[in-house]
Structure formats: structure tokens, C-alpha cells
Amino acid sequence: MAKHPAELFGYPLEVASDEAKLARNKYWCPFVDQKCNKQSRLINYPMGVCSVHYGDRIIALSPRRFLQDKFIFKDIADQYFKTRNNLLVFKEIGVPNIGTFDYVMVKHKALSSEIEDFVVIEFQTAQTTGTGQLVQALKDGMEGQDIKGRNYGFGLNLADIWKRSFTQILNKGIVLENWGNRIYWVIQEAVYQNFLDRYNLNEMGYNQSHKTVFAVYDIKEQKDKYELFRTRFESSTINSLFNAFRKNPNIPPRDAFIDKLKTRLKDKMHLKLRLD
């Protein structure tokens, strides 16, 4: 299975336009028009792999990848506010004892600072295992090697994503339900499908009254670039999500854990006997 970068510093691997070359030379992120902010201790320049080819999928790794043309913000504005007028988006707003919201979209009265409504927007992208292999792929690509179709041996760490993120969904969702406002979780299709499968959430749909909404997007190839597109909105209540979290079907059997403890105990006993 081919596993290699899809985009380097905002441009598809195979694109060698003047713009693409300039972005790579400056380590530039065209999605925010700033220098790339991803770091790796294995290289002395930014980790500019925006997305990867993982088999037949293109998987985003950087939250900034979701900022292409501000498409997601426009989409949420149209879906929730039914307008793009008198809207502002603020980044990284902290809430005591809860954490930081990635973005807050605020609707205000015309020519006024009075707030009419707001929604919270959170981005969740994929993460990799064997990241050293991905760094090597970046190095090879930056050196001009043809790496398309290669398998660099990295993986997707979806289990770790949801181990950390599901508690964030619950904690922040409780706050927004209490406030009576909506929170959008922007997730790519493959990552979201893993979430549904992992917690047996097979009856998800969309309900206008729900305060936790999953805005699901994917990436497709179009001419000389990759484009975001929305696949669907789905929603839930925190009670429903908590029940799925509590009844996780992937809980390992107790007997298997006991067997592991017995093995450790036997090894320890043998070691103790040898030391005695």
C-alpha cells in the first residue's frame, strides 16, 4: 500500500509550479499565508506535510489544512446562521477549567459589539505513528526525489486520537449544552468513520436541536490541487455520546488481562528464584 506525503507546504507532491517551489523554499503554509508552524525534532525546518496518501485516501495531518479558502467557516455560517453578514471568527479562546476553543464564530448586531449568537468550532485531524518514516519522506520530497507510490511505513494513530478527543467532546459538549449554544467538530471522513465504528455509533443522523454537531469533510484531487468538500453534518446529545463512551464495545476481556498478569507473575517468580 502506498504511504507517502500528498502535499508538501500546501501543494501536491507532483506540482512543481513557481508558487509551489516558493512555498517549499520559504517553508510557507498557503492556507494561512504564514510560515508553517508544525515542528519535528528530527529536522531543523518545519514539518510541512499537510496531508498524506494512505492507500487510496488523502488524509489531512495539519489542522491548518482545514483552513483552505475559509471554506469550512463559510459552510458553517451558511448552515447555522443562514448568512455571512455581521460574523467574526476568533481563534483560541480559553475557558477556565475546560481548555481552549479552537475557534468561536460570533454573530453581532450591525455596527455594534452586541452579540446575538455564537458557535464554537473545533478541528480534529489524524496523527501518525512511525513519524520518523514520514520525516524521511519529507526530506526525500524536498530533495526532489520521485516518492509517489512509495510506502514509507508510517501508520495512522486513530486509537490515540479518540482516547484523548472523546473526553474533550464530552467536556466541551456539556458546557455548550448548558449554555444553549452549538459546537461543531470538524473531522475528515476516514477519521470520523473510525470514531463511529470504535464506539458503535451506528444510528447517527442530524437533529436541528442537538448542540454537538460533527461537520464531516473529505479531500479530493482536482486539477493541480486537492480540495476540501463536505460529506455531511451529523449530530448528537452528550447523553447519547456518554452512553456510547461508557458502553465501549472494544473493552478487552478481563480474563485476557488476568492471563497477562499471570505471565508477568511467573516471570517475576522465576527471576526471584534465580536471584535466591
Digit-coded pLDDT (tens) for 87-110: 999 999 999 989 999 999 999 999
* pLDDT at residue 273 in the model: 56
Cα–Cα nearest to 141, from 35, 11, 269, 32:
11
Percent over 70 (pLDDT), the chain: 97
Residues 214-222 have a mean pLDDT of 95
Alpha-carbon distance of 234 to 125, in angstroms, equals 17
pLDDT band for position 274 (cuts 50, 70, 90):
low
Residue 260, φ and ψ in degrees, nearest 5: -65, -40
Pick the closest to residue 215 from 105, 110, 50, 98 (CA basis). 105
- Cα–Cα distances (Å) from 64 to 49, 95, 124, 125, 238, in that order, read 11, 22, 10, 10, 27
Q: Is the pLDDT of residue 42 over 60?
A: yes
Residue pair 22/8 in contact (Cβ under 8 Å)? The answer is: no
- Sign of the alpha-carbon dihedral angle for 111, 113, 119, 125: positive
Residue 269: the pLDDT is 73
Would you say 119 and 104 are in contact if contact means Cβ atoms under 8 Å apart?
Answer: yes
3-state secondary structure the chain: CCEEEEEECCEECCCCCHHHHHHHHHCEECCCCEECCCCCCCCCCCCCEEEEEECCEEEECCHHHHHHHHHHHHHHHHHHHCCCCCEEEEEEEEECCCEEEEEEEEEECCCCCCEEEEEEEEEECCCEECHHHHHHHHHHHHCCCCCCCCECCCEECHHHHHHHHHHHHHHHHHHHHHHCCEEEEEEEHHHHHHHHHHCCCCCCECCCCCCEEEEEEEEEEECCEEEEEEEEEEEECHHHHHHHHHCCCCCCCHHHHHHHHHHHHHHHHHHHHHHC
pLDDT tier at 52 (50, 70, 90 boundaries)? very high
Side-by-side strand order, sheet with 87-95: 87-95, 99-108, 115-124, 182-188, 212-222, 225-236
Q: What is the pTM of this model?
A: 0.91
Please say if the pLDDT value at position 275 is more than 60.
Answer: no
